[in-house]
Amino acid sequence: MQIIHEVIDAAWQQCHIPDDRIPDAILLNRSEFSRLAPGVRARILRRCLFQLCPEARDVGFDSVQRMHDFIASCDNENSVRQWEKNLSVAVEADMILIYPGGESPNPLQYPQLTTGSVSLSIPGEFSFSGWQLTCRILQLSSEKIPALTTEMAANRSLVYLDWEKIELPLILRTANAGEMFRPLGSGGRQKLSDFWINTKIPRAYRAGHPLIADRNEPIWIPGLRPADFCRLTSETTKALRLELKKRR
């Protein structure tokens, strides 16, 4: 029995992801978890349940196997499944997230807009749900554009767009049903529902993910991609600078 405990403890150290920001949830590395022997994976899942629900008395084999099979077969689109004791089990990117209740604790800190649409002032700032959006206009010369392009590549929470190609007003909002988007480099339009899948945004965070739109269509999805039609070019003389940062 002591050997079994040592094996499980070692496996736990291998796949558990400590995160003080979400003390009431458990994160597991899905790749590391999948490398474990099936019997060890089952015991890790049981440990998760009893750690989150100490009052639980027993967990049947069928219940654990159901979660094991769900994690193993979950597609790249990300999914969530209800488990015992009001727990939810979600696969998000390469993580397994186990948490109480129905609302994900958002361990990867995807921005979420819950205030409804907002008309943006330029220049100006707007704060929501622990995030701050800053907007301002810059005069450009062509020799500055390569440096701005490098800056954007290093920081997806920041974007520079061709101001002359944008039609006011600018709106901070979430996606509309069936909405189309022209991501930078895509060569055309695609449904935002497909864009979420392609960029592997977990399903739980898609409806609340903020975007910036002009009068006609989205111009930037923070953290992901700007629109292609308003990208900087050698002809750009005035740029819209948008930055979304986590508030301290």
Q: Write down the pLDDT at residue 169.
A: 97
User: In order of start, what are the domains of the chain with their CATH numbers?
Assistant: 2-100 (3.30.465.60), 118-246 (3.50.40.10)
- pLDDT band (50, 70, 90) for residue 2: confident
Reported residue count of the chain is 248
Q: Convert the pLDDT of each residue in 30-88 to its tens digit.
A: 999 999 999 999 999 999 999 999 888 777 889 999 999 999 887 656 788 999 889 99
Q: Write down the pLDDT at residue 77.
A: 62
Phi, psi of 21 (to 5 degrees): -70, -20
Token pair 């440096």 in the structure block, residue: 147
Strand partners for 128: 131
Do residues 179 and 191 touch, judged by C-beta distance below 8 A? Answer: yes
Q: Convert the pLDDT of each residue in 164-221 to its tens digit.
A: 999 999 999 999 999 999 999 988 999 999 999 899 898 889 999 999 999 999 999 9
At residue 101, does pLDDT exceed 90? no
Q: Write down the pLDDT at residue 94.
A: 86
- The rounded distance, in Å, linking the Cα atoms of 202 and 219 is 21
Beta strands in the chain (DSSP E): 16-17, 26-29, 79-82, 87-92, 95-100, 118-119, 124-128, 131-139, 158-162, 171-173, 180-181, 190-191, 211-213, 218-221, 225-226, 238-246
What is the H or E stretch that residue 69 is in? helix 61-73
Q: Convert the pLDDT of each residue in 133-170 to its tens digit.
A: 999 999 999 899 999 999 999 999 999 999 999 999 99
Q: Convert the pLDDT of each residue in 6-31 to its tens digit.
A: 999 999 999 999 998 888 999 999 99
Q: Write down the pLDDT at residue 76.
A: 59
Burial 105-130 (b: 16+ CB within 10 A, else e): bbbeebbbbeeeeeebeeeeebebee
Instruction: Take residue 185 and report the two structure tokens written for it.
Output: 């480099």
Mean pLDDT of the chain: 93
Question: How is residue 56 annotated by DSSP?
Answer: -
Phi, psi of 190 (to 5 degrees): -145, 155
Instruction: Take residue 126 and report the two structure tokens written for it.
Output: 């707007």
- The rounded distance, in Å, linking the Cα atoms of 175 and 193 is 9
Within 13 A of 218's CA, how many CA atoms are on the CB side? 27
